[in-house]
């Protein structure tokens, strides 16, 4: 008779243990996920820095192109005045 009670009790206890483990682990998993969201990995930092550098290079190239256009326009105006 005791044998029949031990087997179901063991199955119920195993279920309780896994639930207890899940309950204990949950706050740590949530905290870990929150920390992962708030921090930046080295790969993300590198990617973001590369993006910022490319954006700055594009802005510099645009400014250089605009300055060259203005310089050529001023040179042309100066030549036209001389004639």
- Note the pLDDT tens digit of each residue in 43-62: 999 999 999 999 999 999 99
How many folded domains does the chain comprise?
Answer: 1
More reliable by pLDDT, 3 or 41:
41
Buried b (16+ CB within 10 A) or exposed e, 32-56: eeeeeeeeeeeeeeeeeeeeeeeee
Please state the length of the chain: 83
What pLDDT score was predicted for residue 61?
Answer: 98
What pLDDT score was predicted for residue 6?
Answer: 53
Mean pLDDT of 25-54: 87
- 33 band by pLDDT with thresholds 50, 70 and 90: confident
Q: Which domain holds residue 15?
A: 2-82
More reliable by pLDDT, 47 or 29:
47
């Amino acid at each position: 008779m005791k044998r029949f009670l031990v087997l179901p009790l063991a199955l119920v206890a195993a279920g309780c243990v896994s639930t207890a483990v899940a309950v204990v682990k949950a706050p740590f998993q949530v905290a870990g996920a929150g920390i992962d969201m708030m921090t930046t990995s080295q790969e993300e930092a590198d990617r973001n820095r590369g993006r910022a550098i490319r954006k700055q290079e594009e802005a510099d190239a645009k400014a250089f192109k605009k300055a060259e256009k203005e310089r050529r326009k001023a040179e042309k105006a100066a030549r036209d005045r001389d004639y």
